């Protein structure tokens, strides 16, 4: 079926639009409850847990979802502001049938969204989301008054997540002597991320820890690291950690305040795990957006790279299908299934710090695992109702550009699953060729 509601990572859109409104969120709760009832709980609970980031609209959606879930007999546990990976962990830990995270990830406050986790703590598969979407488009039903669910707010969940993260690290690891800038994007990790670093002994310089409902991801976080870079240089910090609004991704800054993407971080972790013989089947997973330099570097280490469609959920699905335990994205989602069921920015940063702390070198040295080949990423917003990638002239231009790149380069042009944006990625050893092709495609699509 053609998906109209679910995107690459749950449901996302403008607040009070067709998909992200109180009335629709209530319907989502009802449809999810109906789906679970139709499958039978098989002795499992009828619990659902709901977490959220710091957007003002989270209150509205939390209440609406709760109304929908309880109307079909689900008991709801409200977690409050908490990172997305914590929802995955707590869904499994609290024996819930479903986990829900209200977030639009790295987007600004005008947007919001809903991510779903199954009872095993992993995100729902496409097939399950398709079944829920079919229910949403049909006539919904709710329970009689004697079968309404209950609601309870759980206050101590951040402490559980903090301990979970720390227990994934070497038991004797202390970060005494390290000075770290942590940018929480005024998002879900604004309390727990600085506390974790402080408990481990680091000197913490916090940024983006004053959410007001509207400043999430605004001039801060993983999508805008400039202020964090200034703080790294000002305080002569050893490292900067920049999370996004729901803390499932991370961009690191070296001691010079320079940004390092997820490909380099994945390369460092892979090399270290390879030395410890921890990489299952000698294979890691990334997406088609990963830099070709990463693939070349991994080959020198004898590590295979399996590439997937864009989206951390597809990275995780491939890891589960193939029985692998590490993967990630250039955008900063790093997935370590030995510890977590989804991307976890805090967890990934801490595991890098544990390597840095014992290396005797600076972050800039460690975070240049490989020489990236020239690569450009461009996002083009479109307003037309027609998909620009279905345009005849655009199709012809894309075929011509692919031919120019040949086998030594790559081109990815795709429509975003969450925004009205065409994403372009070109990479090749010839930087001038990359720039030329990006300009041509951008001009063509932008001129429609």
CB 283 within 8 A of CB 306: yes
Show the tokens assigned to 71.
Answer: 């109307």
Neighbouring-strand partners of residue 381: 421
Helix, strand or coil for residue 61? helix
Annotated active-site residue 354? The verdict is no
**Exactly one of 57, 105, 222, 331 is catalytic; which is it?**
105
Q: Which long-range contacts (CB under 8 A, 24 or more apart) does 253-257 make?
A: 253/181, 253/225, 253/228, 253/229, 253/363, 254/362, 254/363, 254/364, 254/367, 255/362, 255/363, 255/364, 256/232, 256/364, 257/228, 257/229, 257/230, 257/231, 257/232, 257/233
- Cite the beta strand spans of 103-224 per DSSP E: 111-118, 151-153, 179-183, 203-207
Q: Distance of CA 296 to CAs 62, 290, 383, 447, Å?
A: 45, 11, 38, 36
Cα(315)–Cα(126) distance, integer angstroms: 13
Show the tokens assigned to 208.
Answer: 């983006």
Residue numbers annotated as active site:
105
């Amino acid at each position: 079926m053609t998906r109209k509601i679910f995107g690459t990572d749950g449901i996302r859109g403008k607040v009070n639009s067709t998909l992200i409104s109180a009335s629709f969120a209530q319907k989502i709760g009802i449809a999810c409850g109906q789906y679970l009832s139709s499958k039978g709980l098989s002795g499992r609970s009828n619990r659902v847990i709901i977490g959220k980031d710091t957007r003002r609209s989270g209150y509205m959606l939390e209440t609406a979802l709760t109304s929908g879930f309880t109307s079909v007999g689900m008991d709801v546990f409200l977690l409050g502001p908490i990172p997305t990976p914590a929802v995955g962990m707590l869904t499994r830990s609290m024996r819930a049938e479903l986990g829900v995270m209200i977030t639009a990830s790295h987007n600004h406050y005008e947007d919001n969204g809903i991510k779903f986790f199954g009872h095993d703590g992993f995100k729902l598969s496409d097939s399950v989301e398709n079944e829920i979407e079919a229910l949403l488009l049909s006539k919904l039903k709710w329970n009689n008054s004697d079968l309404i669910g209950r609601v309870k707010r759980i206050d101590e969940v951040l402490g559980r997540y903090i301990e979970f993260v720390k227990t994934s690290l070497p038991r004797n690891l202390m970060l005494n002597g390290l000075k770290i800038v942590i940018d929480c994007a005024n998002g879900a990790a604004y309390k727990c991320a600085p506390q974790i670093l402080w408990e481990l002994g680091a000197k913490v310089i916090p940024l983006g820890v004053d959410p007001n409902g509207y400043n999430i991801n605004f001039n801060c976080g993983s999508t805008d690291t400039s202020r964090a870079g200034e703080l790294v240089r000002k305080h002569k910090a050893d490292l900067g950690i920049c999370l996004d609004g729901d803390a499932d991704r991370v961009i690191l800054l070296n001691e010079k305040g320079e940004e390092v993407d997820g490909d380099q971080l994945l390369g460092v972790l892979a090399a270290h795990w390879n030395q410890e013989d921890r990489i299952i089947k000698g294979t890691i997973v990334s997406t088609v957006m990963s830099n070709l330099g990463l693939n070349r570097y991994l080959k020198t280490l004898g590590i295979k790279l399996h590439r997937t469609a864009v989206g951390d959920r597809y990275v995780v699905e491939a890891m589960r299908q193939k029985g692998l335990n590490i993967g990630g994205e250039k955008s900063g989602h790093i997935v370590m299934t030995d510890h977590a069921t989804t991307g976890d920015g805090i967890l990934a940063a801490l595991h890098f710090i544990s390597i840095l702390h014992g290396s005797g070198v600076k972050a800039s040295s460690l975070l240049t695992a490989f020489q990236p080949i020239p690569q450009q990423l461009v996002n083009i917003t479109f307003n037309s109702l027609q998909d620009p990638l279905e345009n005849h002239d655009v199709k012809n231009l894309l075929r011509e550009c692919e031919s120019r790149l040949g086998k030594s380069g790559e081109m990815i042009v795709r429509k975003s699953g969450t925004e009205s944006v065409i994403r372009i990625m070109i990479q090749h050893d010839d930087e001038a060729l990359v720039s030329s092709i990006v300009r041509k495609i951008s001009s063509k699509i932008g001129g429609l």
